[in-house]
Amino acid sequence: MAKAIPKISSRRNLRTGSRRNLRIGSRKRLAEEVIGVIYVQASFNNTIVTVTDGGGQVLSCLSTGTFGFKARRKATPFAAQTVTANALRTVRDQGLKQAKVRIKGPGPGRDGALRAIRYGRIRLTTIEDITPLPHNGCRPPKKRRV
């Protein structure tokens, strides 16, 4: 009689520790690989700044809304500059030395966030615009009949 094959594809068998241990491990790795990626998503209503390490683990994520700005003040360059400076301060304390910048969106927070990144003590390797552009766009509405 053949032996039963143990089931190894269950979720419980794959995870070997808590998610917290994975995050702490990525912070230790950050000292070795000192390059990170700063993502700035600037919409017309809000600006979101996310800083990741080389492996893609999120080190800091802030938006103007969670930082305390309300309503129309969320979409200002000053709010984006303040939030970006605060996000960079936390990752600089963790040991981030240089970073790539990827900016997405048409909002007014683009310039303020980029200004704060330039004033921060992190060396920039590249600045890249990743705003999605349509190749052909949406289908236009049908012609109006009167």
Please report the pLDDT score of residue 5 as a whole number. 60
User: Which one, of 132, 141, 124, lies nearest residue 84 by Cα?
Assistant: 124
Query: Are the C-beta atoms of residues 110 and 78 closer than 8 Å to each other?
Result: no
Residue 12 has pLDDT above 70, yes or no: no
Q: What is the dihedral of CA 6, 9, 15, 16, to 10 degrees?
A: 30
Q: Tell me, what DSSP letter sits at residue 45? A: S
Taking only Cα atoms into account, the Rg of the chain, rounded to an integer number of angstroms, comes to 21
Q: Which residues pair with 36 in a beta bridge?
A: 53, 99
**pLDDT band for position 145 (50/70/90)?**
very high
Which domains are delineated in the chain?
A: 26-129 (3.30.420.80)
Q: Full-prediction pTM beyond 0.85?
A: no
Q: Are 113 and 88 in contact (CB under 8 A)?
A: no
Please provide residue 32's backbone torsions phi and psi, each rounded to the nearest 5 degrees. Answer: -75, -50
- 35-42 and 98-104 strand pairing: parallel
Question: Which pLDDT band, with edges at 50, 70 and 90, does 54 fall under?
Answer: confident
The confidence band for 55, taking pLDDT boundaries of 50, 70 and 90, is confident
- Summarised one tens digit per residue, pLDDT across range 68-125 is 899 999 999 999 999 999 999 999 999 898 999 999 999 999 999 999 999 988 999 9
Q: Which residues contact 114 (CB under 8 A, 6 or more apart)?
A: 40, 101, 103, 127
